[in-house]
Each structure stands twice: as structure tokens, then as C-alpha cells.
Amino acid sequence: MLEATPLGEGWILRHEPDALPASVPGCVHTDLMAAGMIPDPFLGRNEAEVAWVGRRDWTYERELTAPSGQERTDLVFDGLDTVAEVSLDGRLLGTVRNMHRSYRFDVTGLSGLLSVRFVSAYAEAEAVRERLGERPAAYAEPYQYLRKMACSFGWDWGPTLVTAGIWRPVRLEHWSTARIARVRPLVTVEEGAGVVELAVDIERTRVDAPLTVEGTVGGHRIRAELDGAHGVVRLRIPDARLWWPRGYGEQPLYDVEVRLLDGADALDVWRRRIGFRSVELDRRPDAHGTGFTLVVNGERLFARGVNWIPDDVFPSRITRERYRRRLEQAAGAGVDLVRVWGGGIYESEDFYDACDELGLLVWQDFPFACAAYPEEQPLRGEVEAEARENVVRLMPHPSLVLWNGNNENLWGFRDWEWEARLTGDSWGEGYYLGVLPRVVAELDPTRPYTAGSPWSGSWRHHPNDPAHGTHHSWEVWNRQDYAGYRLSVPRFVAEFGWQAPPAYATLRRALPGEQLAPDSPGMLHHQKADDGNGKLERGLERHFAVPDGDFDRWHYLTQLNQARAVAAGVEHWRAHWPVCAGTVVWQLNDCWPVTSWAAIDGDGREKPLYHELKRLYADRLLTLRARDGGLVLAAVNQGAEEWRETLTLRRMSVEGEVLGQAAVDVRAGGRSVARVDVPRELTPVGAKEFLVADAGAGAGTGVRAGTGAGTGPGDRAGGDAGAAGDAGAGTGGLRALYFPAPDRDIPYPEPRFDVALAPGGVTVTARTLVRDLLLQADRLDPGARADRGLVTLLPGEEVTFGVRGWKTPDVERARSALYCVEPTR
């Protein structure tokens, strides 16, 4: 039987004359930090002080003895970052040049000093650039010239920390006669039954041994004789339960086992989990252009998505528990699709396991982003090899529903002046329209492939044409007010977003001792976007008076503006289902503490945007929009059951007076949108008026009418993110607000409210209109979390913020951590 010996201990990191203990898996930066040789690059402006690390060569060493009674011993690296020579006892085993691949070396009978010498990624990339010629890119660093996580060279949200190291596990494998080299599981649903076809490849030491492969799935077992190095077993599971995305059904998973047998003796075993489901991508042309709709088990979906970047710029630090925690946060916000972005990595099995269990669909980019990539050797062979390995590695996961060729490269060729600069040089088109679709079609025909994001489906249309395929909406953040989202209805919005700073406690940790200001040295260093602060300020001043010298106020308003901006897009596009079939917010997470588009900051704290996503991505959503001089109310129902509701509409003044009221019936079938014209007499007139639409008296928003103490429906004092994500998703308890003027022009009253401690939280009772009230729990205690974000209270209403992790509750501290919109002064 194959035996595996982990090799995680006993390594040293050597750079003459220094030698220090090394952690494997790990990287040079984390080892140097552990030894106290470099400061934490996430703090202050330390990133610049450690730039030298990526420019040097480094060597990992350990003694290796490999005694075994078996015929063969292999040295297996699951990941090496990135360009290295591997030697044992002075003998060169091989050279490697791809972070996204695993490597195997025959070391039978060998022992001695094992050495992995890493060449600077800069040196390798610059050498390839010199040989193949300059290629354009969105950033100056040479990330497109080698197969490495592109964002380690920096991005508009990430630091430049160019890593090297043994970033995934390493082991010895001892075996005799034969081993399982690869299992390719094709999982389909045919006539109501689950079908698994297991294509098995083996490696032999003896070609004459008659071998058998045995496959087991869900209690069903079958055997087949091997023909040389290949064999196929096919199992039909008549009673298989379907795997569904979260919110559509359950996620049953089945254990799969493949055993390689020599007579009655087991030589090797391969185990995974699978789920039975069908997936299609409907790209048929229609009256609106060309669609892009995911269809799972025959059910057409509006994808409620987020973009995922590596959760740490040092990915070897991301544990199984951290993946699970971050993805549970996503599920708790109502997310059902996670796009693994192309400037990062193929994530570890832990990521996809969690998505399988949580019902999160995965859109997987191949690792190409924002650059023209040469197609000559040595890159071409590496691209195909990594694609073949990772397609097969990730195939068992039912959560994986889409392969995507690249991020923004087809768009860049057309719009970013690449075509003229390239003058006929290769730039990656052969990968996205040739190599990658061929590999997917050969190895994984059960899943759709799209050439890029954005991509209109062919060169007949502009790559980012909103009427065809996927669309990235960045003109709004870069140049326009977020009201610009409402000017079009793309078929699928794969990227859009708005920036905001991280939580206050995250800033205090990352910028110790700094007097915080939007333009203080540390804040500017942790703002990587081109003119990022300028865009934040311009976006803010369209709605608010920009505070001068009041950092706390600026911090609150920029976070509020981020939530408002994303809400403007999601509400509009969801209301236009099925023409628009999905939104993928840029972005869920951060890889370090930074001002960015993330909903969860680099320390794992939720911004107000995160809590707003709970409302925006709930099964049921109410939204009010201006149209033809009046207002339209859209009731979005993504649940399977019909939604019937009598809504209360109130035209109100900002002083709290009800100026008009009506009841309106809505009826939205399952997975549909109902639209109702608001009576003209209820349309707000001027900046002093607004409209409120309530289902169930606002209960599901966590708001309770009246002034008595207690917890209203939807309030979960001390509840976790997973529970809170369903608040307001029932038959009642939804609220939509419409203000016809920007906040800076609205004559708000001075906000007045009472604050009291409640069991597990803080209760606020409004005495006036209180718009977008926010409890910043991390200001109470760095470890504290609130269970909700922004909430607007009418006079007499109350809300309870559940708070976890607050060690010493105090009502005055609570009051000081509450922020809301204030009248313009």
C-alpha cells in the first residue's frame, strides 16, 4: 500500500551568511518575520522596507533519509513558489517555474541534503521579458512573464510583496507495483439518476502485473480490469439526491473511493466527495442581446455573487478554519456565488470543500489578469500543464460551475491600446480561445467555459458590451456618480464596486501611533488605487458635505457611501431579472488592511457594506425607483413560493409627519419580479419629503414601532452572521425608502434618539428621523462585532443592535460609537 511521509519539519532558510528555521508550508517573508529579521509589512509603511526580499535568491534545506521496503520512493511538492532548482545530495532532480502546479521526483535509494534554491521572481520575469519582448499590462510590475500569483506584485488593493517558498505541503510517497496517478471523475445526472464515470490513470513499476480498479460511490461498487495504464469504471446511483446552491435546496455529498488492487492486495486508494447536479450556461440570443444565465438542475438562477481575492498576500497562512470562516460570512450575507478572480491562485481543497458544504457556487478564473501574456515557450507549456492538473484536481467539487479564461484581458486588448502596442505579438488570445477551452472540453465536459470576463461571446461585439454576456461596470466608480448604475441593464454584471476604508480598529492596528486623516502618511500608503482618495471625495461630495478635519465623520460617510453605491446597482439589476441574471460585487475580502472595495476588511471585520448585502441578497427585496415622473415599486422574489403582500406606502416629511398613505397589493410568483406603480399623490415633492414602503410594518428590518423596551422581530441580540443573513426574508418585514434629493440638500432635523443597554446588545429609540444609523462595534472593543449595519428609524421606532465580544458594556461608550446622517451645516 502506498505510504506517505510528511516533510514539514526540519527545514532551514538560507541566504548567506544567514540561516534560520523555516516553516513548511510557508514563504520567505513569514520565516523572516518569525525570526525578527523584518517587520510586519502590513503595519505602517513597512511594506517599502521589505521590498528587497523579493529581489534576492533563497534556499530551503533539510536532511532527507528515505528508507523504505517498497520499490519506489517519490518526493512530492504540492506547490513551489515559483522558480527553483531542486537537488538531493548534490544531484539535480529538476527545475520548476510554476506556482500553480505540483511536482514529483523519483528519489528511490537517495538520501542526503535536500535543497530547493529559489531564484528571484523578478529576475526570472525580467529575463523572460527580455527574451520574448515587452507586453502591455495594467501595472508596471512584470507579473505576466511567469506563472505566479499576479497580485503578489501588487494591485490596486494589494501590497507589493513578491514571495518565494514551499507554499504547499511536501512529502515522500513510497509504493510498489503501481500507484494511482490521476482520477478524473465525470459526474452527471441522467434520467433522474446520478452517474459517475471514473477515468483512472496509473503509474507502474512493473508492466506485467494484472491490476484491477474498484470504484465505490454511495454504497454502489464496481470493478474493472486495467488496460495498461488506464481504466474506467462507471456507476449509476438511481437514488442519488441532487446537490443545490444555497437557498434552492440541500447539499448532499457522496463519498467516492477508488482502490487499485493487485489481486486481493490494495496498492493505493483515492478518496473525494462529489455531488450530483447538472449545470448549464444559457447564452442564447434574445430580444435584449445575448444572455448569460446559470442553470442548475434545470433551475434558472439570478446569481448573488462576490469576487474573491486571495485572503492573504501570503497564501500559505490561510488555514482551513480561515477559509471556512470567510465563506460562512459570505453565505451569511446571502451570497450564492463566489468568483475566484484571475489575479490570484487556484485555491486549496479546503476552499472548495467549504463551498460544497455551504452551497456556494464557484466561478473559477484561470490565473490571467489585466495583462497581455506571451504565448511562446516556456510559458505556453506551463499554461497547459497547470490547466490540465487543476481542472482534474477541482472536478470532484459540485460547487464548481464555471471555468473562465481570464480577467479583463480581452477587454484590455480592445480598449486599453494594447492592439497597437503589440504590433502582432502574442498576447494570450490563443490561451483563452484555444488552449483552455480545448483542455476543459477534453477533461471536464460537464461544465461550461467562457473565454473571459468581461466577454460578449465573440469579437462580433465589444468585449464589454452590456447587452452581450458578462459586463464589468467601472465607469461609475472611476468617473460617475453611483446613480449611473441605473442607466443600463447588463445581462450579467461580473464586476462593480465602490471603495471605503476598513473598520476603525483595523486602521488603529495597522497604523499604530498615527494621527488618522484621509491623507495621513499611513492612510495614503494603504490606499493603492490610482487617485483612490480623489474618487472617494468626489463620490462623497455628490451626496454629502465632505467633513473638514473630522476623520471619524469622514470614515463613517465613506463607508455609508460604499453601501449606498452597491445598493444602487444591486437593487436596479435585481429588479430587471431575467434580463439581468447576476451581480458579482467587487469584492468580498481583502488580503491585508487597506482602503478597498471589500465588504470584509483585511482583519476579517465586516464593513457596513457586508450587512447591506444581507438585505440586497435576501430572497425578497423591495426597491423604489423613479420612472416617467413617478415612482415604481419592485418586489423581487427569488424564493420558490409565490409572494403575496399588502404593502403600506407612506409619504412623509423629514419632521415625521405622514402626508399621505395607501395600501398596495403585490403578487410576485416564485423566482420573479412584480412591479407596481406608486400612486401619483404619494410621490414626494421637494427635498423635505420621502416615501416609505413597508411589508409587515418593517419588522424584518429589525425595526420595531413604539418606544417600549425589548427585541422586535428580526432582532437577534448576540446572533451570528449566518443567522442574521435571513432577517427580513420572510413574508413580512421588508422596507424600501425613496429620498428624491441628495442628503446634502435635505433639511434633516437634528437627530435625537435614546440609547439603552439590552441583553446582548444596545437598543436605540428614535425621537426624530434617524437616517442610516450605524453602531461601530469595534470602537467599543476591537474584538466586538455587531449583528447589523445601517438602519433608518422613523420617529418612535427602535432597533436593537446585537453585540458580541464586548467585555464591559457601558451606555456612554455605546452612544459614542453610534453614527448617523446629520443635517448639513
Q: Where are the domains of the chain?
A: 3-173, 177-274, 285-518+566-613, 620-819
Is 126 one of the catalytic residues? no
Predicted confidence (pLDDT) per residue in 311-365, tens digit? 999 999 999 999 999 999 999 999 999 999 999 999 999 999 999 999 999 999 9
One of 408, 429, 612, 645 is an active-site residue; which one? 408
Q: For residue 448, what are the CA distances in angstroms to 116, 296, 819?
A: 38, 12, 46
Q: Is the pLDDT of residue 708 over 60?
A: no
Contacts of residue 422, defined as CB under 8 A and 6 or more positions apart, other chains included, come to: 135, 136, 372, 413
Q: For residue 552, what are the CA distances in angstroms to 137, 503, 563?
A: 37, 11, 17
Three cell numbers written together for 462: 465589444
Q: Residue 231, class by beta-carbon neighbours within 10 Å (0-12 exposed, 13-18 middle, 19+ buried)? A: buried
pTM, full prediction:
0.95
Instruction: Give the residue carrying C-alpha cell 486588448.
Output: 413
* Confidence band for 702, pLDDT divided at 50, 70 and 90: low
Architecture of the domain delimited by 285-518+566-613: Alpha-Beta Barrel (3.20)
Q: Please compute the mean of the pLDDT values over residues 651-666 and round it to a whole number.
A: 96
What pLDDT, on the 0 to 100 scale, is given for residue 697? 54
Q: What residues form DSSP beta bridges with 668?
A: 643
Please report which helix (H) or strand (E) contains residue 320, including its range: helix 320-332
Q: For residue 416, what are the CA distances in angstroms to 410, 412, 413, 477, 720?
A: 10, 5, 6, 18, 44
* Confidence band for 76, pLDDT divided at 50, 70 and 90: very high
Distance CA 213, CA 259 (A): 6
Strand-pair category, 818-819 with 400-404:
unpaired
Predicted confidence (pLDDT) per residue in 368-396, tens digit? 999 999 999 999 999 999 999 999 999 99
Per-residue b/e over 560-590, b at no fewer than 16 CB within 10 Å? Answer: bbbbbbbbbbbbbbbbbbbbbbbbbbbbbbb
Predicted confidence (pLDDT) per residue in 477-506, tens digit? 999 999 999 999 999 999 999 999 999 999
Predicted confidence (pLDDT) per residue in 262-296, tens digit? 999 999 999 999 999 999 999 999 999 999 999 99
* Confidence band for 712, pLDDT divided at 50, 70 and 90: very low
**Cβ contact 359:251 at 8 Å:** yes
Q: Is the pLDDT of residue 706 over 80?
A: no
Distance CA 244, CA 278 (A): 10
Q: Is the pLDDT of residue 730 over 70?
A: no
Predicted confidence (pLDDT) per residue in 530-559, tens digit? 999 999 999 999 999 999 999 999 999 999
Closest CA to 499 of 545, 535, 461: 535
Q: For residue 177, what are the CA distances in angstroms to 53, 159, 224, 307?
A: 44, 48, 18, 45
Predicted confidence (pLDDT) per residue in 106-140, tens digit? 999 999 999 999 999 999 999 999 999 999 999 99
| Same fold yes or no, 177-274 and 620-819 | yes
Distance CA 611, CA 607 (A): 7
Is the domain covering 3-173 a CATH 2.60.120.260 domain? yes
Task: Spell out the CATH class of 620-819.
Answer: mainly beta
What pLDDT, on the 0 to 100 scale, is given for residue 731? 30
**pLDDT > 90: what percent of the chain?**
92
Contacts of residue 812, defined as CB under 8 A and 6 or more positions apart, other chains included, come to: none
Strand-pair category, 303-308 with 582-585:
parallel
Q: Which DSSP symbol is given to 281?
A: E
Strand-pair category, 492-495 with 470-472:
parallel
Mean pLDDT in the chain?
94
Cis peptide before 17 (omega within 30 of 0): yes
What pLDDT, on the 0 to 100 scale, is given for residue 497? 98
What pLDDT, on the 0 to 100 scale, is given for residue 725? 29
What pLDDT, on the 0 to 100 scale, is given for residue 369? 98
Q: Is the pLDDT of residue 720 over 60?
A: no
Predicted confidence (pLDDT) per residue in 599-631, tens digit? 999 999 999 999 999 999 999 999 999 988 899
**Cβ contact 128:146 at 8 Å:** yes
Predicted confidence (pLDDT) per residue in 744-774, tens digit? 999 999 999 999 999 999 999 999 999 999 9
* Confidence band for 436, pLDDT divided at 50, 70 and 90: very high
Contacts of residue 318, defined as CB under 8 A and 6 or more positions apart, other chains included, come to: 310, 311, 312, 348
Sign of CA dihedral 185, 186, 189, 193: negative
What pLDDT, on the 0 to 100 scale, is given for residue 207? 85
DSSP string, 559-610: HHHHHHHHHHHHHHHHTTTTTS-EEEES-S--SSS-SBS-SB-TTSPBPHHH
Amino acid identity of residue 595, one-letter, is T
What pLDDT, on the 0 to 100 scale, is given for residue 628? 86
* Confidence band for 701, pLDDT divided at 50, 70 and 90: low
What pLDDT, on the 0 to 100 scale, is given for residue 68? 79
- In terms of CATH, what superfamily is 177-274? Immunoglobulins (2.60.40.10)
Distance CA 82, CA 167 (A): 9
What pLDDT, on the 0 to 100 scale, is given for residue 260? 97
